[in-house]
Amino acid sequence: MMLDAATLDWQALNEAVRDGGREIEIIHCTGERFIGAGASDKKITIHGVPGNALGAYLDGGEIIARENVQDAVGDTMNDGRIVVHGSAGDALGYAMRGGRIFVRGDAGYRTGIHMKQYQEKRPVIVVGGRVGSFLGEYLAGGLIVVLGLGCTDVPAGNFIGTGMHGGEIWLRSLKPPQHLPPQVHLEEADEEMLAAIRPQLEEFSACFDLPMSQLTEGRFYRLTPNAQNPYKRLYVQN
> Which residue of 3, 44, 85, 94 would you call a contact of other proteins, by CB under 8 A?
94
Query: Which stretch, 71-79, 148-156, 183-191, 201-209, contacts other proteins (CB under 8 A)?
Result: 71-79
Cβ 233 to other proteins shortest distance, Å: 7
* Closer of 100 and 172 to other proteins (Cβ): 100
Residues 143/125, Cβ–Cβ less than 8 Å: yes
Tell me if 234 contacts other proteins by CB under 8 A. Answer: yes
Work out the burial of residue 29: count CB atoms within 10 Å of its CB; fewer than 13 is exposed, 13-18 middle, 19 or more buried. buried
* Closer of 33 and 172 to other proteins (Cβ): 33
Tell me if 18 contacts other proteins by CB under 8 A. Answer: yes
Neighbours of 13 (CB within 10 A): 22
Strand bridging mode 140-146 / 100-103: unpaired
For 79, residues 6+ apart whose C-beta sits below 8 A from its C-beta are 40, 58, 59, 60, 98, 99, 121
The 3-class SS string of 175-217 reads CCCCCCCCCEEEEEECHHHHHHHHHHHHHHHHHHCCCHHHHHC
Size of the site for other proteins (CB under 8 A): 49
Query: Which stretch, 41-49, 54-62, 173-181, 189-197, contacts other proteins (CB under 8 A)?
Result: 54-62
Residues 109/89, Cβ–Cβ less than 8 Å: no
Cβ 224 to other proteins shortest distance, Å: 13
The footprint of other proteins (CB under 8 A) covers 14, 18, 33-34, 37-38, 40, 52-53, 56-57, 59, 71-72, 75-76, 78, 90-91, 94-95, 97, 110, 113-114, 116-119, 121, 134, 137-138, 140-141, 163, 165-166, 228-238
